[in-house]
A and B are shown apart, each in its own frame.
Chain A
Amino acid sequence: MIGELCRSAFCLGILLFASVLWGQELRLGTTYTVEDSGLLKVLVPAFERARSIKVRAVLAGTGQVLRIAEKGDVDVVFSHSPADEEKFVAAGFGVARFDVMYNDFVIVGPAADPTGIRGEKDAVGAFKKIHARRAKFVSRGDDSGTHKKEQFLWRSAGLVPKWPDYLSTGQGMVRVLLMAGELQAYTLCDRATFSAQRAKAGLEILSSGDPRLRNEYGVIAVNPAQHPHVNRQGAQAFVEWITSEAGQHLISNYRIGGEQVFFPGAKSRR
Chain B
Amino acid sequence: MDLLEPTRYAFYLLFTGDPALWRIIFTSLYCSLAAIALIAPPAVALGFLIAIVSFPGRRALVVFSQALLSFPTVVVGLVIYMLLSRQGPLGFLKLLFTPEAIIIGYMVIAFPVLVVFTLSAVQGADPRVHETARSLGARRLRAAWTTLFEVRFGVMAAVVNSFGRVVSEVGCAIMVGGNIAGLTRNIPTAIALETSKGEFAQGIALGFVLIVLALGVNVALSVPQGEGGMK
- Interface residue B224 (Cβ < 8 Å from any Cβ of A): no
A266 and B86 CA atoms in complex are apart in Å by 43
9 closest A-B pairs by beta carbon, nearest first, are A168-B181, A170-B193, A167-B180, A143-B197, A170-B179, A182-B86, A169-B179, A67-B198, A2-B174
B 32-61 binary contact with A (CB < 8 Å = 1; else 0): 000000000000000000000000000000
- Interface residue B10 (Cβ < 8 Å from any Cβ of A): no
Q: Which residues on the B side are within 8 Å of A1 (C-beta)?
A: 78, 81, 174-175
Q: Which residues on the A side are within 8 Å of B130 (C-beta)?
A: none
- Interface residue B192 (Cβ < 8 Å from any Cβ of A): yes
Q: Which residues of A approach B to under 8 Å, CB–CB?
A: 1-2, 5, 8, 60-61, 63-64, 67, 141-143, 167-171, 179, 181-184, 202
A64 and B85 CA atoms in complex are apart in Å by 31
Q: Do A167 and B196 have beta carbons less than 8 Å apart?
A: no
Partner of A2, one of B74, B86, B181, B182: B74
Q: Indicate whether A182 sits within 8 Å of B175 (C-beta atoms), given known contacts A64-B196, A167-B183, A170-B197.
A: no
Q: Do A5 and B180 have beta carbons less than 8 Å apart?
A: no
Tell me the minimal C-beta distance from A212 to chain B in angstroms. Answer: 24
Q: Which residues on the A side are within 8 Å of B198 (C-beta)?
A: 63-64, 67, 143
Q: Which residues on the B side are within 8 Å of A63 (C-beta)?
A: 197-198
A202 and B86 CA atoms in complex are apart in Å by 11
Q: Indicate whether A2 sits within 8 Å of B175 (C-beta atoms), given known contacts A141-B181, A168-B181, A169-B180.
A: yes
Additional 6 contacts, C-beta under 8 A, given A169-B180, A182-B85: A5-B174, A5-B192, A141-B181, A142-B193, A167-B181, A170-B197
Q: Indicate whether A167 sits within 8 Å of B197 (C-beta atoms), given known contacts A1-B175, A141-B181, A179-B178.
A: no
Q: Which residues on the A side are within 8 Å of B180 (C-beta)?
A: 167-169
Q: Do B175 and A8 have beta carbons less than 8 Å apart?
A: no
Q: Indicate whether A170 sits within 8 Å of B194 (C-beta atoms), given known contacts A2-B171, A182-B97, A183-B97.
A: yes
Q: Indicate whether A60 sits within 8 Å of B196 (C-beta atoms), given known contacts A1-B175, A141-B181, A167-B178.
A: yes
Q: Which residues on the A side are within 8 Å of B86 (C-beta)?
A: 181-182, 184, 202
B 156-190 binary contact with A (CB < 8 Å = 1; else 0): 00000000000000010011001111110100000
The residue of chain B having its C-beta at the shortest distance from the C-beta of A8 within the complex is B196
B 95-111 binary contact with A (CB < 8 Å = 1; else 0): 01100000000000000
Q: Do A169 and B196 have beta carbons less than 8 Å apart?
A: no
B 195-222 binary contact with A (CB < 8 Å = 1; else 0): 0111000000000000000000000000
Q: Which residues of B approach A to under 8 Å, CB–CB?
A: 74, 78, 81, 85-86, 96-97, 171, 174-175, 178-183, 185, 192-194, 196-198
A184 and B185 CA atoms in complex are apart in Å by 20
A1 and B171 CA atoms in complex are apart in Å by 10
Q: Which residues on the A side are within 8 Å of B74 (C-beta)?
A: 2
Q: Do A170 and B96 have beta carbons less than 8 Å apart?
A: no
A63 and B175 CA atoms in complex are apart in Å by 24
Q: Which residues on the B side are within 8 Å of A8 (C-beta)?
A: 196
Tell me the minimal C-beta distance from B105 to chain A in angstroms. Answer: 14
Q: Do B96 and A182 have beta carbons less than 8 Å apart?
A: yes
Q: Do B179 and A171 have beta carbons less than 8 Å apart?
A: yes
The residue of chain B having its C-beta at the shortest distance from the C-beta of A144 within the complex is B197
Tell me the minimal C-beta distance from A183 to chain B in angstroms. Answer: 6
The residue of chain B having its C-beta at the shortest distance from the C-beta of A12 within the complex is B196
A210 and B198 CA atoms in complex are apart in Å by 32
Q: Indicate whether A170 sits within 8 Å of B97 (C-beta atoms), given known contacts A5-B192, A64-B197, A182-B86.
A: no
A229 and B96 CA atoms in complex are apart in Å by 47
- Residue among A2, A61, A63 with the highest chain B CB neighbour number at 10 A: A2
A186 and B194 CA atoms in complex are apart in Å by 22
Q: Do A167 and B97 have beta carbons less than 8 Å apart?
A: yes
Tell me the minimal C-beta distance from B21 to chain A in angstroms. Answer: 14
Q: Which residues on the A side are within 8 Å of B192 (C-beta)?
A: 5
A9 and B91 CA atoms in complex are apart in Å by 32
A1 and B180 CA atoms in complex are apart in Å by 14
25 contacts between A and B (CB under 8 A): A1-B81, A1-B175, A5-B174, A5-B192, A5-B196, A61-B196, A63-B198, A64-B196, A142-B196, A143-B197, A167-B178, A167-B181, A168-B180, A168-B181, A169-B178, A169-B179, A169-B181, A170-B185, A170-B193, A170-B197, A171-B174, A171-B178, A181-B86, A182-B86, A202-B86
- Residue among B96, B174, B180, B182 with the highest chain A CB neighbour number at 10 A: B180
The residue of chain A having its C-beta at the shortest distance from the C-beta of B85 within the complex is A182
Q: Do A5 and B197 have beta carbons less than 8 Å apart?
A: no
Q: Which residues on the A side are within 8 Å of B175 (C-beta)?
A: 1-2
A142 and B174 CA atoms in complex are apart in Å by 15
Q: Which residues on the B side are within 8 Å of A184 (C-beta)?
A: 86
